[in-house]
Structure 1
Amino acid sequence: MNTNTICRIRPAGRHILTIGRDLIQDNYAAVLELVKNAYDADSPDVHLEFKAFDDLSGYSIVVSDHGHGMSTDDIINKWMVPSTSDKRDRRKSPLGRMMQGSKGVGRYATSILGSNLYLETVTTVGEKTTVYLEWEPFKDATYLDDVEIIVETEKTSEPQGTRLTIEGDKEFLSEWGKGQFYKLRDELKKLQSPVSTVFGKDEFCIKLTVNDFPEEVENIDETIEPYPLFDLFDYRISGKINENGKGTLTYSCKKARNTIEEEIPLDLEKDTGCGELDIDIRVYDREPEAINTLISRGLTDESGEPLGKNEARRLLNTYNGIGVYRNGFRIRPLGERTFDWLELDKRRVNIPARCVGSNQTIGYVQIQAQDQSGLIEKSARDGLRENTAFNQLKAITTLVITQLEWRRYHYRRKEGLSRPIYKIEQNLQQLFSSEALKRNVRTQLDKGANAEKIIELIEQSAKQKNKVTE
C-alpha cells in the first residue's frame, strides 16, 4: 500500500556551531563581525574588553555599544533565527547606515570566542532583554529546537545599547597571546577605510582594552586609529571610475618639487563589469634615502615621537596592501600583506625597474553593493567570490596601478633613482643567459680542447654566476 507523508527538514543541534565555528574564518573575523553588528545598530562606538581571570583559568570578552538595542521580539524572531534575511531586506539602519551584515550568521561568531554568552540589550524605550547561552548543549542535541533558551524581559532606566559577555576556559585563553593581540590591533586599524570621506559625517569609534593576561601580553587601552602612513606617500593615483567604464584619475608625486597634479582621463570603452569603483593607491619608495624622507614628512609612533629607519620599514611591512572596502569596511583578506590578490610581487619580479611590489603600496578600492557590482562576499567571510566581476575588478585596479608605475618609472629614471635597479636587471640577464658560455665552449672545441678544459669553463661560469647572485 502506498502512503504519503508530509515531512519537514529539521536542522541538527550542532548546526548552530557549524555556522559559527566552521563558517567564520578565525578569531579575528569573529571579533570583526561583532564590531560590524554594533555599527549596524547605529551605535557611535563599540568597546572591546578582553580580561583574563585572576587565576588564569579562562577569560572574558565584553563587547558593548550604544546602539538602538533589540526588543524581545527582535531577539526571538530575528537574533535567534539563523541565516535570517532581516538585514539584507532592510539594507539600511534606522539612521541610514548601509548594513554590513547580510548572511544572518555573524552573531554566532561568539561560539568561536568562548563557551557561553550572556546578552543584555536595551531599546530606546527602556525595554531590557537578557539571554544566556551555553554552546555545549547544542553539540549533543538531536535537533536545534531541542535546546531551550530562557529569554527575560523587564523595564529599565539603563541607557540604550547592547552588551555581549563571552566567557571561555583556559583553552580559549591560550589562543590569545602577544602576537594575537598585535594582529587584532592590525585588523581593527585596517577594518575601516583610511579615508574618512567614505563615511562623511558618520563617526564610528572602536576602543580596545586588554587587561591581566599573562606577563608577555601588555595591557592595552586605546582608541583605534588608522596607521599614520597614508598621507605621507611618495606617489599617488586616485579617482572614480563610473559603471560605464569612464572616469578621471589624478596622479601626484611628492618627491618632485613644484609639480602639479596630473589629470588622466580613463575610458575602458565598455562597462566595468563590477559597478562603480572609487580607487586611491599610494606608493612608497624603499631605498634608505626614501625612508629618511618619509620620516622627515612627519612619520611618528603612537606617542608622537619620530620613528627610526627600522621602525619605519617595519611599519611599511605591516601596513602594506590594497584593501577592498564596501560601505567603508574592509573585506578580509583583501588588503592583508600576506594576500597579494593583485599579484604585484609576481609582476615586480618580471619587471623590477618599473613595477611596484606589494610592500610598497597602501590603498583601497571602494566597491558598490552586491546587486550593483556583482561582487559577492563568500559566506565564510574569506573574500570575494572569484567570478567575472572579481576578475574585472582585478584587471581595472591593475590598469590604474600601471598608470602610476609608468609615471613613477620615468620620474625615477630622469632623476637617476633607478640606476641600482638597472644594474640588478643587467646582472640578472647575465645570470640566466648561457650565450657567453656557449661561445667559449664552441671556441675551445674548434681548438680541439679536451673534456677537462670544457668542464673547467663550465665551473668558471658557475662561479661567476654565484658571484653575481651574492
Structure 2
Amino acid sequence: MPESAPFRPRARIVGTLGADLISSERVALVELVKNAYDADATTCLIAYGPAESGTGRELVVLDDGHGMTLDELTSGWLDLAGTAKVKTRLSESKGRPLLGEKGVGRLAASRLGSELMVTTRRRGHEECQLMIDWAQFRNPDLYLDQIEVAVTTGESDDLGPYGRASRLRDEAGVEHEGSYGTMLTITGETQAWTHDDVAEIQRALQRLVAPATVGTRSDFRIVLSLPSEFEDLAGEVGPPQFTTAPLYRLRATVDESGDAVIEFDGQHPDLVPRSKTRHLWTADRKPVCGPFTVEIRAWDLDREGIDLAAPTMGVRDFRRQLAMMAGVSMYRDGFRLFPYGERGDDWLGLDLRRVNQPTMRVSNNQIIGFVFLSHSRNPLLQDQSNREGLIDNVAYDDLRTMVTTLTAELEALRVSLRRREKPAEPTGGLFDNLTIDDLPDVLRSHGAKAEVIAEVERRAELISGAVQVVKDTLTRFQMHATLGQLVDRVVHEGRNAIAPLRNKANLLSRAVERSDDNAITKRRDELLSTVESQASLLGALFDGLDPLSGRKRGRPANVNAMRAINEAVRASDTTLCPTATITVEGNDTRVRWAESDIILAVVNLINNALYWLSGSGNRDKAVRVTFTRVADDQVLIRVSDNGPGVDPQYEGHIFDPYFSLKSNGVGLGLSIVGSIADNYGGALTLSEHPELGGASFELTLGRHV
C-alpha cells in the first residue's frame, strides 16, 4: 500500500507570501484598502503619526465596513488562501465585485510593520481583537500550525462612540455613526516615512478608485490623517481639479469583437464634440481579452496649451502636478490594478512611439488614461501572484493593441487641431525685408551727398551677400531634412518590400513540407516573381538618394502601364487582409515613366486600403485598381476600397508627413505617393465620390506619360 504524507509549511511561508512578495509600502497599503472596499466601507481613514504607546510611529487603517464577528475573525481572517471570496463574487450589502480572491492580501500588513492589532466589530456583536507579532513567523524552526495568535472578545471598546476610532475620525474631520467596522493598527514600522514616501502613497491612492462618471460621486472615499510635517498631503484623497477638464478627451466602449463606439470632447476652443465607430481589430481571429471601456485625457505642455487648460497655474507647477497623475491606469470592477499608470510604467510603449514621431504622438507625461475591466467579462486577464500586473498572455496583448489604437485616434484629433494651415509664401519671402537696396535712391531724392550714397551702396552689397549666405545655409539644412525623410522612407518601404518576400517564402516552405509538387512549382514561381519586383522597389528607394549624392538619375522608360500595376498588386502585402479581393481594370497602354516609381506608389495605396479593410465589418472586402488615360499627356490611377473610408475630421491631414491613425504607423505612405506624383507633374487626391463606398485615392500623372 502506498503511503501518503501531507504538506506542512514552515511559518516563514507567511513572509514569502507577504512582506517578501510585495515590492513596496505603497502596494501593501493598497491591499489593505482593497479589503476595506470589499467590506462595503464608505470611508477608509489612513492615519499615520506618533504611536499611542508613545514610542515610535504607527499606521492605522480604519474603515466603516460591516466588520467581523469572532467566528469570522478566527475562521475567516486567519484562513489563508480561503475560498470565501472565490465562491461569492459580490460584497454582501453593496453588491460590489470583490477585489480579493487569493486570500492572502491581509499579509501585506507584514510589509508595513512588525506588529499588527486587528480590532473589529460587526453590527450587533461584541468587539474582537487579534494581535500578531510577525517576528515569530521568521523563526526557521517553527511550522505554521505551531504559531498561536492572541484573540480576545468583549475586552475593548475602541470602535465605540468614545473609543479610539472615534477620536481618529474627529481629528481627520470624518463623520461616522455606529460602532462597527475594522481597525488595523500597525506598529514597529520597517522604516520611517519621508515626505516623498507619503507623496508617493498619496499619488497611488489618488488613482486607486476608478473616477466617478460626470455628475456622480464615488461611493468609496479615502482620507489621509498625517502629522504636521506632511499636512500638505492630508485630507480626502482626490485628483487635482484641472485633470478633470482636459484639452482633448476620448471615451470608447469596445465590445468582444473589437468594435468601438468612440466619443471626443474637451476644452480646446476648436474642438467640436463628436462620435464615430471603428473596428479596432485587424487580425484574422477574434480578440480574446473581452469587452472594455476606455477614457483618455490629453493636454499640451506648451505655454499656450497650459493657459487654455489651467490659466491660473504656472508652467512648471502644471507640468509637475500632471506628471504625478500621468499615465494610463487599469481598473477592474472599480479598483485599480498595479503597476499600470505608475511613474516609469509605459505598458503601451507611448514614449518609444513618440521618439520616432515627436510631433504626432503623445507621451506618458501628458495624458491620463483609464481602462475599465471586470472580473466576469474579462476572465482571461488574470493577476500575477505578486499583485503587480496581469499575466502577459494573448488576452493582455490583444487589450494592449486595441488601447494603443484608441490612443492613436486621440493623437490624430490633437494634431488636427494643433496644425494651422499657413498661406503659401513665395520663394525668398522670408528675406523680403532684409534689404536696403532702395535706400540709395531715397537718399538721392533728398539730395544726400555722393560719398554718403556710395557708402550706403557698399553696405547694401554687404547685406545682400550676407543674406545669400543665410539662404545657402538654409538650403543645406533643408537637404539634411530631406535626407532624414528619405532614410525614413527607406526603412518604411524596405519593410514593405520584405513582408511579401517572407509571405511567399513561408508558403513555399509549407508546400515543401507537404511534398506537394504542383504547389511547390506554383509557390516557387510566385516567390521568384516577388523577389524580382521587390528588388526593383528597393532599387527605386536607393535612386531616391541620388539628388543628394550628386549622381544623375536614369530617365523614364517606355513601359506597359498595366504590367506595372499588376506588379504592384503582386508586391502588395496581402497578409494585411487575407480575405480581401484585389481587382485591376484598364487597357494596355504604353507610358513613359520609371516603372519602379509607379509600383512603389501603387503598393503604398493598396497596402493602405488592405490595412483599413482588415478593420472593417464588411464580409466581402474589396480593393479595385483602375487605370485610365484621361488626356494625351495625363493618366489616372485610382485605388478604391469598401472599407470605413476617411474620417472627415482628418481629410486635410492624411497627406502630411508623419500623420497616421494606425497605432504604430509611421505616417509616410501617402506622403511618399504624393512626392512621386509631384515628380510627374501630377497630384494625389482623395476622391469626393468613392467608387466602392470606402476610400478612393486618385493618383494623377502628367509628365513623361
Task: Name the TM-score, length of structure 1 as normaliser.
Answer: 0.81
Query: C-alpha separation between the residues in 2 aligned to 1:202 and 1:288?
Result: 33
Say which SS state the counterpart of residue 352 (structure 2) adopts.
Answer: helix
Pairing partner for 2:417 from 411, 420, 425: 411
Deviation at 1:89, TM superposition (A): 1.6
What amino acid is the match of 2:366? Q
Query: C-alpha separation between the residues in 1 aligned to 2:478 and 2:390?
Result: 36
Query: C-alpha separation between the residues in 1 aligned to 2:486 and 2:258?
Result: 42
Query: C-alpha separation between the residues in 2 aligned to 1:437 and 1:145?
Result: 81
Cross-structure match for 2:364: 358
Query: C-alpha separation between the residues in 1 aligned to 2:261 and 2:64?
Result: 40
Deviation at 1:266, TM superposition (A): 2.0
Q: Does the alignment pair 1:207 with 2:223?
A: yes
Cross-structure match for 2:29: 31
Cross-structure match for 1:249: 262
Say which SS state the counterpart of residue 310 (structure 2) adopts.
Answer: helix
Q: Does the alignment pair 1:395 with 2:408?
A: no
Deviation at 1:202, TM superposition (A): 5.4
Query: C-alpha separation between the residues in 2 aligned to 1:284 and 1:427?
Result: 31
Say which SS state the counterpart of residue 391 (structure 1) adopts.
Answer: helix
- With over 3 angstroms needed to count, the CA separation of the structure-2 counterparts of 1:11 and 1:180, relative to structure 1, is same
Query: C-alpha separation between the residues in 2 aligned to 1:278 and 1:182?
Result: 29
- With over 3 angstroms needed to count, the CA separation of the structure-2 counterparts of 1:351 and 1:74, relative to structure 1, is same
Deviations 1:202-249 (A, max 9, x none): 51111101226xx6x557531111222333211111121112322310
Deviations 1:99-156 (A, max 9, x none): 1111111111111111111111001122221111101111114200111122222287
- With over 3 angstroms needed to count, the CA separation of the structure-2 counterparts of 1:62 and 1:55, relative to structure 1, is closer
**Which has the larger displacement, 14-23 or 430-439?**
430-439
Which structure has the higher relative contact order (CA within 8 Å, separation 6+)?
A: 1
Structure 2 contact 212–218 (Cα < 8 Å) conserved: no
What amino acid is the match of 1:114? G
Cross-structure match for 1:420: none
Deviation at 1:432, TM superposition (A): 9.6
Structure 1 contact 25–381 (Cα < 8 Å) conserved: no
Cross-structure match for 1:179: 196
Deviations 1:47-79 (A, max 9, x none): 111113599963101111111111111112221
Cross-structure match for 1:194: 211
Query: C-alpha separation between the residues in 1 aligned to 2:138 and 2:131?
Result: 16
Cross-structure match for 1:292: 307
Query: C-alpha separation between the residues in 2 aligned to 1:281 and 1:127?
Result: 47
What amino acid is the match of 1:162? T
Q: Does the alignment pair 1:64 with 2:84?
A: no
Query: C-alpha separation between the residues in 2 aligned to 1:11 and 1:235?
Result: 54
Structure 1 contact 208–221 (Cα < 8 Å) conserved: yes
Query: C-alpha separation between the residues in 1 aligned to 2:398 and 2:180?
Result: 44
Deviation at 1:401, TM superposition (A): 1.1
Structure 2 contact 267–308 (Cα < 8 Å) conserved: no
Q: Does the alignment pair 1:164 with 2:184?
A: yes
Deviation at 1:406, TM superposition (A): 1.9
1:18-417 equivalences in 2 (<5 Å):
18-53=16-51, 58-95=56-93, 96-140=95-139, 141-154=141-154, 158=160, 159-168=179-188, 172-174=190-192, 176-196=193-213, 203-211=219-227, 217-218=230-231, 220-257=233-270, 259-268=271-280, 271-296=286-311, 306-369=312-375, 372-414=378-420
* Percent identity between the two aligned chains: 31
What amino acid is the match of 2:116? L
Say which SS state the counterpart of residue 22 (structure 1) adopts.
Answer: coil
Pair member with larger Rg? 2
Task: Name the TM-score, length of structure 2 as normaliser.
Answer: 0.55
Query: C-alpha separation between the residues in 1 aligned to 2:113 and 2:152?
Result: 22
Query: C-alpha separation between the residues in 2 aligned to 1:41 and 1:31?
Result: 16
Query: C-alpha separation between the residues in 2 aligned to 1:10 and 1:425?
Result: 74
What amino acid is the match of 1:89? K
Structure 2 contact 291–377 (Cα < 8 Å) conserved: no
- With over 3 angstroms needed to count, the CA separation of the structure-2 counterparts of 1:121 and 1:265, relative to structure 1, is same
Say which SS state the counterpart of residue 28 (structure 1) adopts.
Answer: helix
Which runs of 5 or more residues in structure 2 are unaligned? 161-178, 423-476, 488-544, 553-705
Say which SS state the counterpart of residue 241 (structure 2) adopts.
Answer: coil
What amino acid is the match of 1:120? T
- With over 3 angstroms needed to count, the CA separation of the structure-2 counterparts of 1:31 and 1:252, relative to structure 1, is same
- With over 3 angstroms needed to count, the CA separation of the structure-2 counterparts of 1:55 and 1:205, relative to structure 1, is closer
Deviations 1:6-36 (A, max 9, x none): 3211110111111111222210011111111
What amino acid is the match of 2:61? V
Structure 2 contact 59–186 (Cα < 8 Å) conserved: yes
Query: C-alpha separation between the residues in 2 aligned to 1:262 and 1:33?
Result: 39
Structure 1 contact 16–82 (Cα < 8 Å) conserved: no
Query: C-alpha separation between the residues in 2 aligned to 1:337 and 1:149?
Result: 39
RMSD of equivalent CA atoms: 2.9
Deviations 1:259-312 (A, max 9, x none): 53221112246644211111111111111111122223xxxxxxxxx3222101
Query: C-alpha separation between the residues in 2 aligned to 1:130 and 1:148?
Result: 14
What amino acid is the match of 2:396? F
- With over 3 angstroms needed to count, the CA separation of the structure-2 counterparts of 1:342 and 1:71, relative to structure 1, is same
Query: C-alpha separation between the residues in 1 aligned to 2:479 and 2:389?
Result: 39
Deviation at 1:439, TM superposition (A): 4.0
What amino acid is the match of 2:38? D
Query: C-alpha separation between the residues in 1 aligned to 2:478 and 2:235?
Result: 46
The number of residue pairs the alignment matches comes to 416
- With over 3 angstroms needed to count, the CA separation of the structure-2 counterparts of 1:396 and 1:31, relative to structure 1, is same
Say which SS state the counterpart of residue 21 (structure 1) adopts.
Answer: coil
Query: C-alpha separation between the residues in 2 aligned to 1:229 and 1:265?
Result: 29
- With over 3 angstroms needed to count, the CA separation of the structure-2 counterparts of 1:245 and 1:432, relative to structure 1, is closer
Structure 1 contact 367–373 (Cα < 8 Å) conserved: no
- With over 3 angstroms needed to count, the CA separation of the structure-2 counterparts of 1:433 and 1:396, relative to structure 1, is closer
- With over 3 angstroms needed to count, the CA separation of the structure-2 counterparts of 1:191 and 1:433, relative to structure 1, is same
